[in-house]
């Protein structure tokens, strides 16, 4: 969610016809970072009263996700190539007596899911369009997994240091969970 909102903020202009979509216009105008009890802004985007913003993010996700998807595809291809160079499937089965955890069928399924997430399903054509449900499912999984996630480390100077390091991770945890879900993780 955070990455999508940041992308929307980076746009020069978002045009909303307030006579045709008054609730959308109001939501975009009133959406802001949450504040603590003292009125200080918290660096989290609230996941409430943001249906129009979510709709806009989902509708534009192919544009802002494209860079991350390509990166994950390259990483996945590199890992797969390195894995296959180190050990082939037959060697793993001989050594362990079990099928490798990433079977050919599983790899094919992961690649299909990634293609669906990128809106590049093999069955798409000029007549067959995608609803891009894989992206919506991945985003919703990430939202549900992280919606009430909190992390607190306290009790010492080391704990304060760790809290600072982990808070940076926590600000982006939802997009990492979504990326993991999108790549079959």
Helix spans in 17-98 (H): 22-30, 51-86, 89-96
Q: Is the distance from CB of 181 to CB of 142 less than 8 angstroms? A: yes
Residue 69: the pLDDT is: 56
Q: Which residue has the tokens 């190539």?
A: 81
Q: How far is CA 39 from the centre of its chain?
A: 30
Mean pLDDT lowest among 5-9, 13-17, 30-34, 124-128: 5-9
149 Rama sector, left if φ>0, alpha if ψ -120 to 50, beta otherwise: beta
Taking residues 22-31, what's their average pLDDT?
83
* Residue ranges of domains in the chain: 2-182
Q: What is the pLDDT of residues 100-152, one digit of tens each?
A: 666 677 778 888 888 888 888 889 888 888 888 888 888 888 888 888 877 77
Considering just the CA atoms, what is the radius of gyration of the chain in Å?
A: 21
Mean pLDDT lowest among 27-31, 126-130, 166-170: 166-170
Q: What is the pLDDT of residues 35-86, one digit of tens each?
A: 888 888 776 777 777 778 777 777 666 665 555 555 556 666 676 676 666 6
pTM above 0.85, yes or no: no
Taking residues 169-176, what's their average pLDDT?
81
């Amino acid at each position: 969610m955070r990455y999508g909102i940041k992308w929307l903020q980076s746009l020069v202009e978002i045009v909303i016809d307030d006579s045709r979509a008054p609730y959308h216009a109001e939501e975009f105008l009133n959406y802001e970072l949450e504040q603590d009890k003292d009125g200080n802004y918290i660096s989290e985007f609230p996941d409430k009263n943001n249906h129009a913003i979510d709709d806009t993010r989902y509708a534009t996700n192919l544009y802002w996700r494209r860079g991350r998807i390509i990166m994950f595809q390259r990483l996945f291809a590199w890992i797969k190539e390195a894995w296959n160079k180190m050990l082939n499937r037959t060697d793993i089965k001989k050594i362990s007596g079990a099928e490798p955890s990433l079977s050919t069928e599983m790899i094919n399924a992961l690649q299909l899911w990634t293609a669906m997430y990128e809106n590049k399903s093999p069955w798409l054509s000029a007549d067959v369009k995608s609803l891009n449900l894989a992206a919506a499912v991945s985003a919703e999984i990430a939202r549900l997994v992280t919606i009430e996630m909190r992390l607190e480390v306290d009790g010492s100077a080391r704990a304060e240091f760790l809290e600072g390091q982990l808070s940076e991770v926590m600000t982006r945890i939802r997009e990492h969970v979504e990326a993991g879900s999108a790549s079959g993780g």
